[in-house]
Amino acid sequence: MRSEPLDNLVTIVLAAGKGTRMNSSVPKVLHNLRGRPLIHHVLASANSLGSSRVIVVAGYGAHQVRAALPAGPGVQAPEVVLQEPQLGTGHAVAQCLASLAPVQGTVLVLSGDVPLLKVETLRSLAAVRKDAGASVSVLTGHFDDPTGYGRMVRGDHGEVLGIVEQRDLSPGQEKITEVNLGVYAFDAGFLKREIPRLDNDNAQGEYYLTDLIGAAVRSGSGAVTLVTDEPGEARGINTLKELTVMEKQMNRNHVARLLDSGVRIVDPESTWIDETVEIEPDAEIRPSTFLHGDTRIGARSVIGPGAVITDTVIGADVEVRPFCVITGSRIGDGAAIGPFAHMRAGSVIGRSARIGNYVETKKVVIGDGSKVSHLTYVGDADLGRDVNIGAGCVTCNYDGFAKHKTTIEDGVFVGSGVMMVAPVRLGRGSLVAAGSTITRDVPPDALALGRAQQSVKEGWAEERRRKLSGAEKEKKS
Ligand code: UD1
Ligand code: CA
């Protein structure tokens, strides 16, 4: 297969069908595969191919489909054309005719439910058509069980004659194993001329895009094929079961690649790692760990078991102990997290710092060597180096209307059970006594003690025991 730059390429993505066999109210192309809707995978291929325009045909759940299309700064959002009602793949492309009016060159037609097509394959498909001077090229493959697919009908010399859909097969044609994989490159002029001529005179009463292959043959301009020896990449998703199988396989492949690159993955079958995650050699990923999105893990770090980590950068020699949930955070070299820690977005943890069990962090910078070891919440806070926060402390950051900041400077020691009512600042080297509620700034090197006076009543408890057990005896007698 070859790769050439493609100029003047417009890509149509068919995505109007409901996906009846999914038995789901969610439009088929919006079901997630590896964390992204199916159609995002297809659009990513269309973009890396260098399509000058991408047109999505939406119908069932068009509202939802439109809302789920990639958008944002620097992202080229596809155009959307509506197909209502859905009268077949040919009818779907017919809805694009107005948009295609100025188009010359190649029109590529893809399905929104075929997510794994390689860009190289699409390039070759377009090149095959151009080189042959044909009106259309079709991607085909051989399946042991071709049931359900349109079959390629060829003449005595192997030349393409047309495509026959499963339900329109004549008896002899059932044995044909070469199937239409539903991916086409058309000459734009041919497509625009022939689409309006399609009829729906077939078993399903639909306008078949596949009838254009026969039309190309009859017009003399011809149809050619690209026969892939990897038809798996053109596998479509029709059921939730197929989606699950495909997802599992993709994960397996990715984990295998990571293993080959020197990452120790203890139990590949229970470990889910997105393609976007980068892991350095000699890191160790323990069972039932989920690594998502823009996550990076440094050398010799040990993660899990049972970690769920999303969009987080983890340095080298970090220990993420069992059952931590970490999102949108950065963890410095040599830090130790968990077990059972919850680090929410914007947690930035310094080198060799320690976040212990049942600690929750959010939007916090914690300096090198600092320790927040047990049962504590720190949010909207700035902690310096070598700070020590005792068990059960809370930065009280929210007053019901706004969030306020807590600043804890280098070397501060906060005893257990301290409530820090923000906004508040604990000066460098200060000490906060256990059980304090801190509402005012503490100067550097000071002691802050903010708890109620303790009173002691000698013998009181013993007296109470005597009284109550006396009353109990009277009741029973
Ligand atoms: C189609 C092909 C078949 C091929 C198979 C490969 C036709 C007539 N048949 O069959 O030869 O082997 O793909 O997977 O094209 N869609 C619309 N509007 C519609 C109907 C469908 O947008 O009115 C979209 C669907 O959402 C889907 C794609 O077109 O993304 C394919 O439609 P589908 O119904 O799955 O076609 P198949 O029966 O699989
Ligand atoms: Ca299909």
Task: Report DSSP letters for 396-437, one per residue.
Answer: E-B-SS-B--EEE-TT-EE-TT-EEESSEEE-TT-EE-TT-E
Rg of the chain over CA atoms, in angstroms? 32
Ligand 1 pocket member 194 (CB < 6 A): no
Condensed to tens digits (0 to 9), the pLDDT of residues 230-271 reads: 999 999 999 999 999 999 999 999 999 999 999 999 999 999
Closest-approaching ligand to the CA atom of 210:
1
pLDDT at 6 over 70: no
Tokens of 104: 């010359």
Stretch(es) of the chain classified as CATH 3.90.550.10: 9-234
Average the pLDDT over 7-32 and give the result. Answer: 94
Nearest protein CA to atom 32 of ligand 1, as residue: 89
Average the pLDDT over 470-475 and give the result. Answer: 83
What is the rounded CA–CA span in Å between residue 249 and residue 258? 14
Q: What is the average pLDDT value for the chain, to the nearest integer?
A: 96
Tell me if residue 91 is catalytic: no
CATH T-level fold of 9-234? Spore Coat Polysaccharide Biosynthesis Protein SpsA; Chain A (3.90.550)
**pLDDT given at position 224:** 98
Coil, strand, or helix at residue 202?
coil
Percent with pLDDT over 90 in the chain:
94
CA of 89 to the centre of ligand 1 (A): 6
Average the pLDDT over 114-137 and give the result. Answer: 97
From the candidate CATH numbers 2.30.30.30, 2.40.50.1070, 2.160.10.10, 3.40.50.1400, the one assigned to the domain spanning 240-448: 2.160.10.10
CA of 209 to the centre of ligand 1 (A): 9
CA of 453 to the centre of ligand 1 (A): 77
Q: Are 367 and 393 in contact (CB under 8 A)?
A: no
Nearest protein CA to atom 11 of ligand 1, as residue: 150
Question: DSSP code of 438?
Answer: E
Ligand 1 pocket member 236 (CB < 6 A): yes
**pLDDT given at position 3:** 45
Sign of CA dihedral 169, 172, 173, 174: positive
Nearest to 328 by CA among 343, 341, 318: 343
Nearest atom of ligand 1 to the alpha carbon of 57: 22
Burial of residue 231 (number of CB atoms within 10 Å: 0-12, 13-18, 19+):
middle
Q: Which of 111, 138, 246 to mutate to test the pocket of ligand 1 (most atoms within 8 A of CB)?
A: 111
Stretch(es) of the chain classified as CATH 2.160.10.10: 240-448
Question: Which residue is listed with tokens 């599992």?
Answer: 248
Condensed to tens digits (0 to 9), the pLDDT of residues 142-180 reads: 999 999 999 999 999 999 999 999 999 999 999 999 999
**pLDDT given at position 53:** 96
Which one of the listed residues 63, 91, 342, 374 is annotated catalytic? Answer: 374
Dihedral in degrees, nearest 10, Cα atoms 125, 130, 133, 135: 60
CA of 238 to the centre of ligand 2 (A): 6
What is the rounded CA–CA span in Å between residue 41 and residue 23? 22
At 331, is the pLDDT very low, low, confident or very high (cuts 50, 70, 90)? Answer: very high
pLDDT at 5 over 80: no
Tokens of 74: 């620097």
Q: Which chain residues have CB less than 5 Å from ligand 2, an ion? A: 236
What is the rounded CA–CA span in Å between residue 448 and residue 2? 73
**pLDDT given at position 7:** 65
Sign of CA dihedral 195, 199, 205, 210: negative
pLDDT at 2 over 50: no
What is the rounded CA–CA span in Å between residue 249 and residue 364? 38
Closest-approaching ligand to the CA atom of 238:
2
**pLDDT given at position 242:** 96
Nearest protein CA to atom 3 of ligand 1, as residue: 150
Report the chain's terminal Cα–Cα distance, integer Å.
99
CA distances 406 to 378, 421, 446, Å, are: 9, 8, 17
At 4, is the pLDDT very low, low, confident or very high (cuts 50, 70, 90)? Answer: very low
What is the rounded CA–CA span in Å between residue 397 and residue 423? 7
CA of 199 to the centre of ligand 1 (A): 16
- Reading phi first (left if > 0) and then psi (alpha if -120 to 50, else beta), residue 346 is in left
What is the rounded CA–CA span in Å between residue 224 and residue 84? 31
pLDDT at 392 over 80: yes
**pLDDT given at position 477:** 77
Condensed to tens digits (0 to 9), the pLDDT of residues 200-233 reads: 999 999 999 999 999 999 999 999 999 999 999 9
Nearest to 303 by CA among 255, 258, 265: 265
Phi, psi (deg, nearest 5) at residue 315: -75, -160
Question: Which residue is listed with tokens 């269309």?
Answer: 46
